[in-house]
């Protein structure tokens, strides 16, 4: 997953927010077909100025 996020971020070097889509299989014990899931990736500075990457749902802040 992280390598796909990295490729998405390389395409948008000037932004700090990116959206990333991947296929997931629900863990309900019966699902077999993958469905698309969308994630939000935010790059920001941490408490000590270090780079931080946060992966969350698109509706989260």
Q: Does residue 61 belong to any structural domain of this protein? A: no
Residue 15 belongs to domain spanning: 2-56
> Which of the two residues, 35 and 1, has the higher pLDDT score?
35
Q: Does residue 17 belong to any structural domain of this protein? A: yes
Q: How many domains does the chain have?
A: 1
- Residue 16's pLDDT is what? 82
Q: Does residue 39 belong to any structural domain of this protein? A: yes
Express each pLDDT in 9-34 by its tens digit.
666 665 688 888 889 998 898 989 99
Measured CA to CA, the distance from residue 39 to residue 8 in angstroms comes to 11
Q: Does residue 9 belong to any structural domain of this protein? A: yes
Q: Kindly report the pTM of this predicted structure.
A: 0.63
Q: Does residue 46 belong to any structural domain of this protein? A: yes
Q: Does residue 47 belong to any structural domain of this protein? A: yes
Residue 36: pLDDT band with limits 50, 70, 90: very high
19: closest CA among 4, 34, 32, 33?
4
User: Other C-beta atoms within 10 Å of 35: how many?
Assistant: 9
């Amino acid at each position: 997953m992280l390598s796909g996020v990295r490729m998405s971020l390389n395409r948008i070097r000037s932004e700090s927010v990116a959206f990333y889509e991947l296929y997931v299989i629900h863990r309900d014990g019966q699902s077999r077909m993958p469905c698309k899931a969308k994630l939000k990736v935010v790059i920001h500075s941490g408490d000590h100025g270090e780079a931080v990457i946060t992966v969350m749902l698109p509706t989260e802040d």
